[in-house]
Each structure stands twice: as C-alpha cells, then as structure tokens.
Amino acid sequence: MTDRTVLLYSDDPEVRERMKLAIGTHPRPDLQVEFVEASTYAECVKLVDDYEIDLLVLDGEASPAGGIGICRQLTDEIKNCPPRAIVIARAADRWLAAYAKADATLLHPLDPVTTAATVADLLEHRSSLTA
C-alpha cells in the first residue's frame, strides 16, 4: 500500500473537515493518505517547504489568501511543485483555476466519489513522475 501526504488548505476548519471526509483515508484500495492542514497562507507555505507533500487541495474561497492565488504562487516558485487541486464554489470559476495552473478543480459541495477519484488520479500521476 502506498502512503501519500495531502495538504488541505482553508481558513475554515469545517471546509477542511469536509475535504478530509470527501477524500477519505483510502481514496483507492491501494492508496492511503495522511492529511496535514493549514489555515493560513504562512502555514501552507511552511508545510510545503518543510514536508514531503504529495498533493495540495486548496480552498479557492479561503480568505484573506485564497487557494487560487496560493496555487499560482507555489506553481511559479517551486520546482517540481506537487499537484494542485482547487475547490471552487462556482463552475464558472474554472478559468481562474486554469489561470492559477491548477491540475484539477473540485466543486463545493464536494462529491466523495469524484473527489476521491480526482485525488487518486493526481497522486498516481505524481508517483509516475517521481518514479
């Protein structure tokens, strides 16, 4: 079984909990994830700098630092940045996620089947790049 670390970013602890529940600890039978959580921009950047993060799940609605801006910044500044999924409130905001160079978008409210499948695909792609 493969263990991966997923960073959940949102200023709202309830949103982080919903992310965690939608992903689950086993998004696929052969894949186990551990979660680390950030509620501020500074915590998010520090966790990315200090730990081996395999995937970022960022709340596009977070405030004051939104997941869209953090996604764009980390993509531009970190060589071999982990894959990034942005959770957005409106499908019309997908263009913002594309501008931020997100690898995937997820819509509030999070569907557990879609969320787990997206996370598993992103983590599998990450594994193939680092193998």
DSSP structural state of residue 81? P
What are 89's two structure tokens? 């409130």
Domain boundaries, the chain: 2-130
CA-based angle 76:79:83, to the nearest 5? 80
By three-state DSSP, how is residue 33 classified? Answer: strand
Instruction: Say how far apart CA 94 and CA 20 lie, in whole Å.
Output: 22
Convert the pLDDT of each residue in 46-73 to its tens digit: 999 999 999 999 999 999 999 999 999 9
pTM above 0.85, yes or no: yes
Q: Residue 2 has what pLDDT?
A: 72
Longest distance between any two alpha carbons in the chain, whole Å: 37
State whether the Cα torsion 68-78-124-16 is positive or negative. Answer: negative
Q: Do residues 85 and 120 make contact, with C-beta atoms less than 8 angstroms apart?
A: no
Residue 128 pLDDT grade (very low, low, confident, very high; cuts 50, 70, 90): low
| CATH 3.40.50.2300 applies to domain 2-130 | yes
- Over residues 104-108, mean pLDDT: 96
Nearest Cα neighbor of 126 from 77, 63, 56 is 56
